[in-house]
C-alpha cells in the first residue's frame, strides 16, 4: 500500500456528491459477522482443544478432549466478579491522582484532556492482589483457573452489551464520529465503532478500556495461573515465571508510558465499537494469557542455555519495540530535543516530517518487528510438544501485517506523493531485508 492513490479519500464520490463508504474487513457483512462470531469462538476453542486433559489442535475433532470435566459455560458468580473488576478499575481511575494530558487535535479542532492513572491503578491493584493472594492467602487467585470459561463468557457478554450501549449513545446530538465508522451500515458501524471518543463527563471510555481492565486483568489471570501451579506442584517452574515476567513487563511498559497511547491509531482514528471493546476486555486478557494457562496444564523445564536465549530474544525485541516507539513519540512531541534532533527526515507537503534514519530508517514498522520478537519469547518457554501455545505468535503476525497495510493506506491518503517518496527511501515494511 505504498503507491499513492491520487485524490482517494476514505470513500469514493457518488454522482449525487455523497461519499460511497469504503469498508475494511471484507465489506459490511462477511468480515464483521465472521469476526463477531469467530473471535469469541476462538477464545472458547483455545480452552476446548487445549487444557489439562490434553492439547490436540492438529489431530482433528476426534482427538479433542473438550472442556475439562465440570466446566460451566456461564455462572452468575463469574459475571459478578467480572463486573466488579471493571468497577474497581473505574473507581481507582476516578479517585487516584493522575497527570492530565492533551490528546491530538480532533477534526472539530478540539483537544481532549485525559486523566492518566494507569501506573497507579496497576501498582495498587498488584499490591492488593499480592498481599491478599500470596501473603495472607485470603484471596484465591487459583479460582481464576477453575473459572476460566465462565469468566470468559462474562467478558464476551459484557463486550457485546458495552458495544450496544456505545452504538446507541453515538446517535446523540454533538457526538464526534469516527471517519471509518460512520458508513450508515448498522452492523458495520456497530462492529468498527461509530463514535470516536465516547465519554461520560471527562471519563474517556476508549482510553480506559484499552489500558486498564484488560491489560491489568491479563496479568491477574497470569498470577492466577502462577498460584494454581504452586498449589499443584508446590513450586513454580522457570518457564511459567518467565512468561509471567515477560507479560508483566509488557503491561507495565504500556501503563508507565500511558501518554504514548494518545497518539496511536486506536485513539486518534478508530471509533470505539465491538472490535476494540471485545479486543480490550475479552480477547487480550483471555487469549494473551494462553501460554501461562498452557504451562499450568503442561509444566515444562528449560535448560540454562534456553533460558539465556529466550531472555536475550525478549530483551532484543523490547529494545527495538521501546526504542522505536519512544523515538517517534519524542520526535512528534518536539523534533528539536537532543535525542532526535540529528535524525534525517523528509518534509511532507503538510509540513509534517517523516523520520528516515535511526529506527524508522530500518523499516516502516520496525516497532511491530520488536513486538513480534517479544511474542516469540513469550511462546518459546512452552516448548515444542504442541502448536497451540504458538497461537499468539501466528495471530499477532497476521494482525501486524494487516495493521501495517491499514496504516500504510491511511498515511498514503494523509501524505500523498510524499509517502511514496518515504517508501522509496525506507523500503521494508516490518522485517528488515525480508518484508
Ligand X SMILES: NC(=O)C1=CN([C@@H]2O[C@H](COP(=O)(O)OP(=O)(O)OC[C@H]3O[C@@H](n4cnc5c(N)ncnc54)[C@H](OP(=O)(O)O)[C@@H]3O)[C@@H](O)[C@H]2O)C=CC1
Ligand Y SMILES: CC(C)=CCC[C@@H](C)[C@H]1CC=C2C3=C(CC[C@@]21C)[C@@]1(C)CC[C@H](O)C(C)(C)[C@@H]1CC3
Whether the CB-CB separation of 244 and 223 falls below 8 Å is answered with: yes
Whether the CB-CB separation of 83 and 158 falls below 8 Å is answered with: yes
Write down the residue that cell numbers 518515504 correspond to: 422
**With contacts defined by CB under 6 A, how many residues of the chain interact with ligand X?**
18
Closest distance to ligand X from the beta carbon of 24 (Å) = 14
What is d(CA 82, CA 221) in angstroms, rounded to the nearest whole number?
A: 12
DSSP at 281? I
All residues at 6 or more sequence positions from 70 whose CB lies less than 8 Å from its CB, including other chains: none
Candidates 78-86, 144-152, 218-226, 280-288 — which segment interacts with ligand Y by CB under 6 A?
280-288
The answer to the question of residue 266 lying near ligand Y (CB under 6 A) is yes
The answer to the question of residue 278 lying near ligand X (CB under 6 A) is no
CA geometry: angle at 146 spanning 141 and 149, to 5°?
Answer: 115
Q: Which of 64, 283, 286, 422 binds ligand Y (CB under 6 A)?
A: 283
Letters for 8-47 (x = contact with ligand Y by CB under 6 A, - = none) are: -------------------------------x--------
Which residues between 336 and 365 bind ligand X (CB under 6 A)?
352, 354-355, 360, 365
Q: For residue 347, what are the β-bridge partners?
A: 353
The answer to the question of residue 272 lying near ligand Y (CB under 6 A) is no
Which partner, ligand Y, ligand X, none, binds residue 63 by CB below 5 to 8 Å per kind? none
All residues at 6 or more sequence positions from 326 whose CB lies less than 8 Å from its CB, including other chains: 257, 260
Pairing state of beta strands 54-55 and 199-200? Answer: unpaired
Question: What's the distance, CA 336 to chain centroid?
Answer: 31
Q: 30 φ, ψ to 5°?
A: -60, -55
Q: What's the farthest any 2 CA atoms get from each other in the chain?
A: 72
48 vs 274, beta carbon nearer ligand Y: 274
The answer to the question of residue 209 lying near ligand Y (CB under 6 A) is no
Q: Which of 9, 113, 202, 264 binds ligand Y (CB under 6 A)?
A: 264
Which residues between 360 and 419 bind ligand X (CB under 6 A)?
360, 365, 367-368, 371, 403, 407, 410-411
Q: By CB under 6 A, name the binding residues for ligand X.
A: 264-265, 321, 325, 328, 332, 352, 354-355, 360, 365, 367-368, 371, 403, 407, 410-411
Amino acid at each position: 500500500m505504498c503507491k499513492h492513490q491520487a485524490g482517494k479519500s476514505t470513500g469514493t464520490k457518488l454522482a449525487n456528491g455523497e461519499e460511497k463508504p469504503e469498508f475494511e474487513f471484507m465489506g459490511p457483512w462477511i468480515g464483521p459477522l465472521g469476526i463477531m462470531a469467530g473471535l469469541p469462538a476462538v477464545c472458547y476453542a483455545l480452552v476446548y482443544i487445549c487444557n489439562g486433559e490434553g492439547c490436540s489442535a492438529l489431530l482433528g475433532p476426534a482427538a479433542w478432549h473438550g472442556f475439562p470435566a465440570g466446566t460451566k459455560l456461564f455462572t452468575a458468580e463469574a459475571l459478578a466478579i467480572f463486573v466488579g473488576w471493571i468497577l474497581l478499575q473505574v473507581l481507582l481511575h476516578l479517585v487516584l491522582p493522575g497527570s492530565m494530558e492533551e490528546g491530538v487535535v480532533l477534526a472539530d479542532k478540539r483537544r481532549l484532556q485525559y486523566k492518566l492513572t494507569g501506573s497507579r491503578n496497576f501498582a495498587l491493584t498488584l499490591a492488593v492482589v499480592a498481599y491478599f493472594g500470596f501473603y495472607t492467602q485470603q484471596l484465591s487467585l487459583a479460582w481464576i483457573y477453575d473459572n476460566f470459561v465462565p469468566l470468559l463468557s462474562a467478558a464476551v457478554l459484557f463486550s457485546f452489551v458495552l458495544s450496544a450501549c456505545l452504538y446507541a449513545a453515538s446517535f446523540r446530538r454533538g457526538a464526534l464520529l469516527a471517519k471509518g465508522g460512520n458508513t450508515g451500515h448498522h452492523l458495520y458501524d456497530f462492529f468498527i465503532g461509530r463514535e470516536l471518543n465516547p465519554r461520560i463527563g471527562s471519563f474517556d471510555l476508549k482510553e480506559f478500556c484499552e489500558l486498564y481492565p484488560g491489560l491489568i486483568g491479563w496479568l491477574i489471570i497470569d498470577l492466577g495461573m502462577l498460584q494454581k501451579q504452586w498449589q499443584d506442584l508446590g513450586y513454580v517452574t522457570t518457564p511459567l515465571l518467565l512468561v509471567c515476567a515477560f507479560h508483566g513487563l509488557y503491561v507495565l511498559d504500556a501503563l508507565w508510558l500511558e501518554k504514548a497511547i494518545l497518539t496511536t491509531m486506536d485513539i486518534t482514528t478508530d471509533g470505539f465499537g465491538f472490535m476494540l471493546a471485545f479486543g480490550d476486555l475479552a480477547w487480550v486478557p483471555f487469549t494473551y494469557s494462553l501460554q501461562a494457562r498452557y504451562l499450568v496444564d503442561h509444566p515444562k523445564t528449560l535448560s540454562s542455555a534456553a533460558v539465556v536465549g529466550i531472555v536475550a530474544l525478549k530483551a532484543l525485541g523490547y529494545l527495538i519495540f521501546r526504542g522505536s516507539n519512544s523515538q517517534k513519540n519524542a520526535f512528534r512531541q518536539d523534533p528539536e530535543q537532543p535525542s532526535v534532533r540529528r535524525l534525517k527526515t523528509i518534509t511532507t507537503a503538510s509540513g509534517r516530517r517523516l523520520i528516515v534514519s535511526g529506527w524508522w530508517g530500518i523499516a516502516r514498522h520496525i516497532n511491530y518487528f520488536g513486538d513480534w520478537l517479544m511474542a516469540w519469547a513469550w511462546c518459546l518457554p512452552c516448548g515444542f510438544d504442541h502448536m497451540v501455545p504458538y497461537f499468539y505468535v501466528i495471530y499477532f503476525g497476521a494482525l501486524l501485517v494487516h495493521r501495517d497495510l491499514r496504516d500504510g493506506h491511511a498515511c498514503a491518503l494523509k501524505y500523498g506523493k510524499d509517502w511514496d517518496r518515504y517508501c522509496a527511501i525506507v523500503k521494508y515494511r516490518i522485517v528488515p531485508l525480508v518484508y
